[in-house]
Amino acid sequence: MIPKAIIKTIQLPDGREITIETGRLAKQADGSAVVRLGDTMLLATVVSSKEAKEGVDFLPLSVDYQEKFAAAGKIPGGFLKREGRLSDHEVLISRLVDRALRPLFPDDYHADTQVMIQLISSDDDISPDALAALAASSALAVSDIPFGGPISEVRVSRRNGEWKINAPISEIEESDISLIVAATKDNIMMVEGEMKEVQEDEMLEALKVAHEAIKTQCEVQLELEKEVGTSEKRVYSHEEHDEGLKDKMHQELYPKVYAIAKQQHANKDVRSDMFKSIKDEFIDSLGEESEYDEVLIGMYFKDIQKEACRNLMLDEGLRLDGRKFDEIRPIWSEVDYLPSAHGSAVFTRGETQSLTTCTLGTKLDEQMIDGAVYSGTNKFLLHYNFPGFSTGEVRPNRGPGRREVGHGNLALRALKQVVPADEDNPYTIRIVSDILESNGSSSMATVCAGAMAMMDAGVPISNPVSGIAMGMVSDPETGKYRILSDILGDEDHLGDMDFKVTGTKNGITACQMDIKIDGLSHEILKEALEQSKKGRLHILEEMNKTISAPREDYKEHAPRYETIKIGLDQIGAVIGPGGKIIQEIQKESGATIIVEEKDNHGLVNIFANDKDKMKMAADRVKAIVALPEVGETYTGTVKSIMPFGAFIEFMPGKEGLLHISEIKWERVENMEGVLEIGEEVQVKLLDIDKKTGKFKLSRKALLPRPPRKERQNKE
């Protein structure tokens, strides 16, 4: 018997429908839901342990999004032919959902919790990333897991001045704004996306449009929760507190912590050591036989430290490192730091430093993408590395984690808006940012260093891009708040907002925002955006002191390129049978040659690190595709000899007949001993047969014509 499903429908502004179904699939999970738009279907499940593990004082939440290849009628590539570890694309969608859900679980809920979202059916023109959080939240809504939602995420985009919610993929590509926005019914929680140099008020308008759509989706989830009967959530007890210890620590340590915070040390290590000494002195004062729980001591001390630092900012207007709230830390930068790189830059802001390189490659270096939804190639890459030594830690190098993937993607979004379009850029461009020091916003340092490295490499970007991380502390009871420019790592941890904004002098190119509190108004967001613009332009001015525009030429050791446009019928001549001709040219010249079809013509892209090598290859290609002209003189090679004449290759791949009567003015009785195979001979193109395309050559036309009497005597 097929179980009866409960189905709810959400109407999108353009008339399309999203359905949420529960009760049919994955019923042993604590909660499950299937979300569908068009032919795209996502199955979300959530399971949470009934008890927390001993000693755990945080929420062990994992969110995994995976695309099944069968959903798109594909078989995975590779040897195993099965889905493996999550791709960067899947990691990024997992992060979008994680960042929206995590802040809404109760602070004292510490049970292992796993959210899994699977793409089980795919529609070519519907992007599943905007539906993943709706599916996850719906699964939580029909479970008994305590959660402060529901929430939803939508993509808001603008094309030709018209706003669209969850637009088709084909329309997203043509949009000047594309943002993923997550929110509850009352508050925006998370924003991430890219823009084509738009203004701050346009971004705010996008957030308003998105939030209106999300409110409707949250209402439908509440109806679903009520119909399923899961409005009452499970009872739990994951924390045991010692109120006496808590009060004792606050009374003794808060004044000391506040006093150290007020000293406003610019060096984070000095500040951290002084805070730690207070905690260590307190533990020593308890004596060796003390029965106090060190886990609780650590938890309470963090709370005291957070409260003291926040109050210092809210009550006295003082930041931990002594700066004004809109002040940017000192900046220094340098380009062309690495002599062998195609482009390089060092960007340092306060205690955050990025060493970034730009490498130029050929079409052969493009990244191949083989996903369930997206397949193709990518010629602009950005990789972000965050080794342990950047924060003075010992940490094994296990490859990039989710944080590194997310930070790199944000920087890529910011910079790709100013990179030349594919048709104007023959190179594959790879940016690599190695973070050497970190104390706040290394992703924004990557944006700045990435723009400078590309300019140093000679990449013709349209404008330099800078980035800034904004923060905020607030007190809902008093209404006080402070917006912080260029936040420190500590300010990120103790603050209520992390808002990263990148852009050029003309407007915003990308943003990422995570909000940790309820009730962030549009007025505060507007103020934060205006303050971020001021800081972003200041950083841009500092960058311009080092380099303000792309170099006029590439480095001597960077690959040069030349593109030759040819007819479709000439592609075979350039490549040759079995690739013989093109391989021969590459071997002799040392250049890399790539031939492709585009817009009813052929393109021959030639890359070489040496100008002479590139010229040699280009000359060979041009000779092959050049059209023979009647009346022109050519130096040819004898390819074969017949009784009636010889066939001469007078241009690469083009042979013509030198008839016996056209060899010289004197009469030639036979071809014996007249010409040899391989011999070079100058010939003139007399005619091209219009029907057959055959070439008629002459050698005697280039020889002096003997006087008439002499000719008669010889005859």
CA dihedral (12, 13, 15, 20) in degrees, to 10, reads: 10
Which of 653, 686, 659, 685 is closest to 674 using CA atoms? 659
- Residue in this structure with the two tokens 């001390």, named with its chain if needed: 301
Q: Are 66 and 117 in contact (CB under 8 A)?
A: yes
- Backbone angles phi and psi of 96, in degrees to 5: -60, -45
Is 395 in contact with 387 (CB distance < 8 Å)? Answer: yes
Contacts for 672 with CB less than 8 Å, ≥ 6 apart: none
Q: What is the CA radius of gyration of the chain?
A: 35
SS3 697: strand
State the number of CA atoms in the 13 A half-sphere of 714 facing the CB: 11
Q: How many residues does the chain have?
A: 715
C-beta neighbour count of 518 within 10 angstroms: 14
Start-to-end CA distance of the chain, whole Å, equals 108
Strand-pairing partners, residue 52, are: none
For residue 470 the two structure tokens come to 């904004």
Using DSSP's 3-state secondary structure scheme, residue 329 falls into coil
492 is in an annotated binding site: yes
Distance, CA of 700 to CA of 668 (rounded, Å)? 12
Q: How far apart are CA 336 and CA 452, in angstroms?
A: 10
Distance CA 634, CA 652 (A): 11
Residue 379: CB atoms within 10 Å:
18
CB atoms inside a 10 Å sphere around CB 273: 11
Q: Which residues pair with 514 in a beta bridge?
A: 190, 498
Which backbone phi and psi does 546 adopt, to 5 degrees? -95, -50
Cα dihedral value 220, 526, 191, 406, nearest 10 = -170
Annotation-wise, does 365 bind a ligand? no
List all residues 6 or more positions away from 423 whose beta carbon is below 8 Å from its beta carbon: none
Helices (H) and strands (E) in the chain, counts: 15, 29
DSSP 3-state of 182: strand
Annotated binding site: 492, 498
Annotated binding site for Mg(2+): 492, 498
